[in-house]
With several copies, the nearest count.
Chain A
Amino acid sequence: MLPLNATILQITEESHSVRTFFFDLHFETMEPGQFVMVWGRGVNEVPMGLSRINSITVLKVGETTSKLFELKEGDSFGLRGPFGRGFSLPSENEKILIIAGGVGAAPLSPYAEAAYAVGSEVHTILGARSADELIFEKRFLGAGKVYISTDDGSKGIKGFVTDVLKGLDLSAYDKIAICGKELMMVSVFRLIKDRKVLEKAEFSLHRYFKCGIGICGSCCIDRSGFRVCKEGPVFSGMQLLDSEFGRYERDASGRRVQI
């Protein structure tokens, strides 16, 4: 597909460095966890999870995201997608645990809502560096119970999402969905693996995307050779066993870089 034209209808400040952009396209069939390629014209095109069928939620980190932050309502950007594989939806009687770190809450918030909508019980561990960087707390609260952790203790438990996780009985959950920084995710991975519930868990990975549609190979992970943009970005814990996950990734040139 060619980039669609997405006109910004509304911009919401989620924190000082995170904004949600609502646009005039509706991806009714999107699976929570799927991503779009967002094209800041004249700059670059980058992957972003869909935070709703009609929004992306962006953390300002570099050139392209800064360019997006310059856009006003009525402006537009290019958009290809939704692409990739999202989180598996729970069924009515299942109980799920969501673990969201920072802007990782973006693709997980529609997941929480979808799970709630089918009638499953939703618990969320929401982590951030500090209280004002917590994102979508209300949306997760609307879907069920929320545990909060902040690095500086400004809200909830002082510490990391894993500190909350340690205290939970993981056998009570049917599915566990995780998205956040890779270092956070890998701690969660180890803990969950130790508790022998890895087969319940799904992780949303970040790798460098060029095509976003499974041709170029820049996002492939070792040792499976899976394409994060096509077989992922959401992988089951079992798929990540014996993988590069948590150890290294590849930069735009394909060089290995330590995580």
Chain B
Amino acid sequence: MYVLTGLKMKNPTILAAGILGTTGASLCRVALEGGANAVVTKSIGCMPKKGHPNPSIIQLDCGFLNAMGLPNPSYQGFLQELKIAKKDSGVPVIASIFGGNVVEFMEVAEGLLPGKPDAFELNVSCPHSEGYGAAVGSNPCLVEAITAAVKDVVNVPVWVKLTPNVSDITSIGTAAESGGADAVVAINTLKGMAIDIESGYPILGNRSGGLSGKAVKPVAVKCIYDLYATLKIPVIGVGGVSCWQDAVEMMMAGAAAVQVGSAVYERIDIFSEINTGIKAFLQRKSYSDVKKLIGLSHEMV
């Protein structure tokens, strides 16, 4: 048994936000059939949103570009899905939420409380926000304020998901910690774009979007490494994990647990596969506990 910010998990592998996270049933499937030891929902907001026009996701050579545009049925619409996930998944369910400002974040968090999420994950990388047009997530003051506000209205752990599109991710991580976050999650997608050269059109309906998958793993590992060195709260790793070796690498960089997003595309049971791989690795290397991996690379000098 593995305890992460008070959540009990069999292994430290978690479904990332926005992947098969729109319905309660799909969240259950990822847990039961896929072996995820906790699941994060699609990011939920105040109002139903259809998201950007398609193409909203495309697969590249080395990853995926997406510009979903935060489609979601609002917290009212999502409550029934959350309840299904809680009832049937058998694992902790983390509600990912977003908002344009402190008040919206609070509204969504409170709105989802009846669904009894095991934790909240704050998606502070939403581009529609207060604060001089910059994304919430690149503004440490806003991140701290939002974290503190949500902490105030909920009585479950709060994770803050960080964007890598900043000069220094540790300053944002520190802000989340100061706001009372129980953990940070790194990383969300990298700003990216692809153009269809036959027509000249940007491919994504939203013209540009976020890069995920294999391409971003080295960036994620570096962010996790730096956050681990700076913060006292746990760092949850995400970005480009597609096999158990990647998960081990992230944990050695400092991740207390690992989320998997894009790689679920290939095989839903990637979580079981990672868990099995880690177990065999621990055995081969005679590590007594998976926790020994966390931050190991910091000691190797």
For residue A74, CB closer than 8 A to chain B, the reply is no
Is B20 a contact partner of A225 (Cβ separation < 8 A)?
yes
Is A214 a contact partner of B265 (Cβ separation < 8 A)?
yes
With contacts A3-B58, A225-B29, A255-B73 taken as known, whether A215 is within 8 angstroms of B196 at the C-beta atoms is no
Is B20 a contact partner of A217 (Cβ separation < 8 A)?
yes
Closest to B57 in A: A211
A interface residue count range (under 10 / 10 to 19 / 20 to 34 / 35 or more): 35 or more
B188 to chain A, nearest CB (A): 15
Closest to B49 in A: A253
B181 to chain A, nearest CB (A): 26
Is B54 a contact partner of A39 (Cβ separation < 8 A)?
yes
| Residues from 34 to 71 in B contacting A, C-beta threshold 8 Å | 42, 48-51, 53-60, 64, 66, 68, 71
Is A210 a contact partner of B49 (Cβ separation < 8 A)?
no
- Which of chain B's residues have a CB closer than 8 A to the CB of A3? 55, 58, 196, 203
Closest to B71 in A: A253
B44 to chain A, nearest CB (A): 9
Is A250 a contact partner of B23 (Cβ separation < 8 A)?
yes
> Majority SS of interface residues in chain B?
loop
Is A45 a contact partner of B194 (Cβ separation < 8 A)?
no
Report how many residues on chain B are interfacial, defined by Cβ distance under 8 Å. 49
A65 to chain B, nearest CB (A): 13
Q: Which of B22, B24, B49, B53 sits near A44, CB closer than 8 Å?
A: B53
- Which of chain B's residues have a CB closer than 8 A to the CB of A78? 55, 196, 198-199, 203
Is B59 a contact partner of A217 (Cβ separation < 8 A)?
no
Cβ contacts B79-123/A at 8 Å (1 or 0 each) = 001000000000000000000000000000000000000000000
A24 to chain B, nearest CB (A): 12
Q: What are the 6 A-B residue pairs with the smallest beta carbon separation, nearest first? A: A225-B29, A45-B54, A217-B20, A211-B57, A225-B25, A252-B50
